[in-house]
Each structure stands twice: as structure tokens, then as C-alpha cells.
Amino acid sequence: MSLDAIPIHVINPPPGEPGLTGNAPPLLRELSELVKRLLASGETSAIDLSALPLTPADLDWLRERLGEGEINVTLQANGESTLNETACSGIWWVTHHNEQGAVTSQFIEVAFVPELVKAHPQDVQIGQEYLELLISDL
């Protein structure tokens, strides 16, 4: 039996264009402060976008204003994550997806390099051991 035979039409998400709340513009000021802090002290920071009252339209507005930078990083770890540089160098748009492709969390990170991209010394150590193993097999 095809699903079309079931006379229930799920409407999800609800109709109507989500509007701008005006909550996005202040974030630009906050980002400016965070970038100043990064330059002054090297201190990195992040804004948790899912914790803020932003509609999809707000996020689009913000994303569009911040623009596209030169670097797009894709991370495959329990679903895809994208860490994209914006036109403002030092500001990264970070989106985590789960294995089903749904967005699990979204951040704007202010850093020279996003935290997740850096290799951890312990992992580098493991890589080095593997390298030694390769060399010993030569």
C-alpha cells in the first residue's frame, strides 16, 4: 500500500514565513568585541547559536552578512561537521550534523584556527608511533 492512500497530511514545519526578530544584528557587535579580544590577548570564544532566540531567517541574515571566506573544513566524525571561514577572517561558522544529517548544534567560533581542526598532542604522538612502525618495516 502506498503512503499516499493514508489521508493524513503532516504539515511540518508549520506554514508561514519565519520572520526576522531583530535578534541577529546585536550579534555583529558582540562578534566585533570577541574579535578585538582575540587580537589583543589571543583568547578564543564561541557563540552557541542554538541557545539564542534566532529564527531560520535570522540565521540566514547573519550568515549572509558574514559572507564566505577562503577555507571550508569538513569533518567526518559521527556525522558531518562543517567549519567554514567567513569573510571576516577569524570568525568561523561551525555546524555539527548527526549521522542522519540533522543539525545537532551550531556555533560561531572566534579563533585563528577552530578548536576541532587542531590535532591533539596525544593523537600526534600516536601518529608518530605509527610512522616509526612504517619506517621499521622498510
User: Would strands 91-97 and 45-48 be described as parallel, antiparallel, or unpaired?
Assistant: unpaired
For residue 57, with 0-12 CB atoms within 10 Å meaning exposed, 13-18 middle and 19 or more buried, which class applies?
Answer: middle
Q: Is 5 in the site for another protein (CB under 8 A)?
A: no
Task: Please give the DSSP secondary-structure letter assigned to residue 120.
Answer: P
Q: Is 96 in the site for another protein (CB under 8 A)?
A: yes
* Site mask for another protein (CB under 8 A), range 25-44, x = bound: --------------------
Give the Cβ contact number of residue 54 at 10 Å: 19
Q: Considering beta carbons, is residue 11 or 138 the nearer one to another protein?
A: 11
Q: Considering beta carbons, is residue 22 or 70 the nearer one to another protein?
A: 22
Cell of 78: 559521527
Residues 24, 61: contact at Cβ < 8 Å? yes
Instruction: Please report, as ranges, the residues that interact with another protein according to CB under 8 A.
Output: 7-19, 21, 23, 45-48, 50-51, 53-56, 75, 77-78, 81, 96, 98, 100, 102, 104-105, 107, 109, 115-116, 120, 122-123
